[in-house]
Amino acid sequence: MIMKLEPIFKETLWGGEKLKTRFGFKTPYEKTGEVWCISGLKDQANRIENTTFSGKTLYDLWQEERHLFGGKEGDYFPILVKLIDANQDLSIQVHPDNAKAREKGSLGKTECWTILDCEKDSTIIIGHNASTLDELKTAIEEKRVLDIVNEHPIKKDDFFFIDAGTLHAIKGGTLLLEVQQSSDITYRFYDYERLDNGKPRPLHIDEALEVVKVPDRDIKTALETKYFDILFVNVAQSVFRKSHQHGDFVTVLDGEGYIDNILAKKGMSFFISSQTAYQVTGNVSLAIALIM
Ligand code: ZN
């Protein structure tokens, strides 16, 4: 079964207009930072637009129709796929792993980024150069956070893996696809001393220091997680595929075509249930996220 998913828009201070202009999303916001393409978080789950499940959400299906996911076990729908338009720098942040997030009734947050577009000389922040937790704390106290984080140049099509516990920040001028564990727990570590309506946004230094990895110098450009996988498929004319045992979670990154007889153009997302044979035709670039 091929289910089309209704996108969820998120207004953010740092968002821009690229999700509208590049993907054609009809977002109601002037500054849209995120489009949630594939989400099964309770109250923030994508609605199914077609099939007999029309009107239900991915959350509902995970609760009620687990056979569509090949009987995959687990309390929470495991992944979250977003398109992100950072018009300005995001705060430097860190997420807990599964063990540390469990107390909060959530999964941890391991994530990965595929750079879809960026301005010249753009960078991201991943990891830091501190050798001990004390070194990190001192850097915060002395307002030298930017001296110890790893800032890395980026270009279109780069891929980065960000394990839970790794400090990271998306910088302004970057459009990317994020595939992550389904979690909404973020600890803000540093916000560039910025003011929002005259006041700094709250930081979560204690929580961040509790989950941050030390040392954590390496930039990882390959996926290293047992929770999800991601395939990038460029279709020039026609591709046949059978969906993964737990389903295919498809986001169209570029172009236009069909999945069987359903229109698939850039920005659209689909859930193709367990072990479904399908054909993609046309000229499209797909990201297919998989639950492991
Ligand atoms: Zn993050």
Instruction: Please report whether residue 216 resides in a domain.
Output: no
CA 236 to ligand 1 center in whole angstroms: 33
Q: Both 280 and 174 in a single domain? A: no
Instruction: Please report whether residue 219 resides in a domain.
Output: no
Reading the block at residue 257, the tokens are: 């075509």
Instruction: Please report whether residue 220 resides in a domain.
Output: no
CA 183 to ligand 1 center in whole angstroms: 10
Candidates 22, 47, 66, 188; catalytic one: 188
CA 154, 19, 289, 279 torsion: positive or negative? negative
Q: Is the pLDDT of residue 104 over 90?
A: no
Q: Is the pLDDT of residue 145 over 90?
A: yes
Instruction: Please report whether residue 102 resides in a domain.
Output: yes
pLDDT value of residue 214: 97
* Cut 0.75: pTM above it: yes
CA 166 to ligand 1 center in whole angstroms: 9
pLDDT band at 124 (very low <50, low <70, confident <90, very high): very high
pLDDT value of residue 40: 97
Q: Which amino acid is at 180?
A: Q
Q: Both 36 and 137 in a single domain? A: yes
pLDDT value of residue 132: 97
Q: Both 261 and 131 in a single domain? A: no
Give the structural domain span for 196: 2-211
Q: Both 73 and 204 in a single domain? A: yes
Instruction: Please report whether residue 132 resides in a domain.
Output: yes
CA 208 to ligand 1 center in whole angstroms: 12
Domain harbouring 270, CATH code: 2.60.120.10
Out of 211, 236, 258, a domain closes at 211
Q: Both 235 and 189 in a single domain? A: no
Out of 164, 182, 211, a domain closes at 211
Q: Both 237 and 107 in a single domain? A: no
Q: Both 149 and 284 in a single domain? A: no
CA 162 to ligand 1 center in whole angstroms: 8
Give residues with Cβ within 8 angstroms of 265, minimum separation 6.
24, 252, 255, 256, 257, 284
CA 234 to ligand 1 center in whole angstroms: 27
Identify whether 66 is a catalytic site residue. no
CA 94 to ligand 1 center in whole angstroms: 6
Instruction: Please report whether residue 251 resides in a domain.
Output: yes
Out of 211, 240, 261, a domain closes at 211
Instruction: Please report whether residue 222 resides in a domain.
Output: no
Q: Is the pLDDT of residue 179 over 90?
A: yes
pLDDT value of residue 181: 96
Average pLDDT over residues 274-282: 98
Q: Both 167 and 252 in a single domain? A: no
Average pLDDT over residues 141-164: 96
Q: Both 118 and 29 in a single domain? A: yes
Instruction: Please report whether residue 24 resides in a domain.
Output: yes
- Provide the domain count of the chain: 2
Average pLDDT over residues 15-36: 96
pLDDT value of residue 196: 81
Q: Both 69 and 172 in a single domain? A: yes
pLDDT band at 195 (very low <50, low <70, confident <90, very high): confident
Q: Is the pLDDT of residue 289 over 90?
A: yes
Q: Both 185 and 238 in a single domain? A: no
pLDDT value of residue 184: 83
With beta carbons less than 8 A apart as the criterion, state whether 16 and 31 touch: yes
pLDDT value of residue 206: 95
Mean residue pLDDT across the chain: 96
pLDDT value of residue 60: 98
Q: Both 74 and 196 in a single domain? A: yes
CA 217 to ligand 1 center in whole angstroms: 17
CA 259 to ligand 1 center in whole angstroms: 31
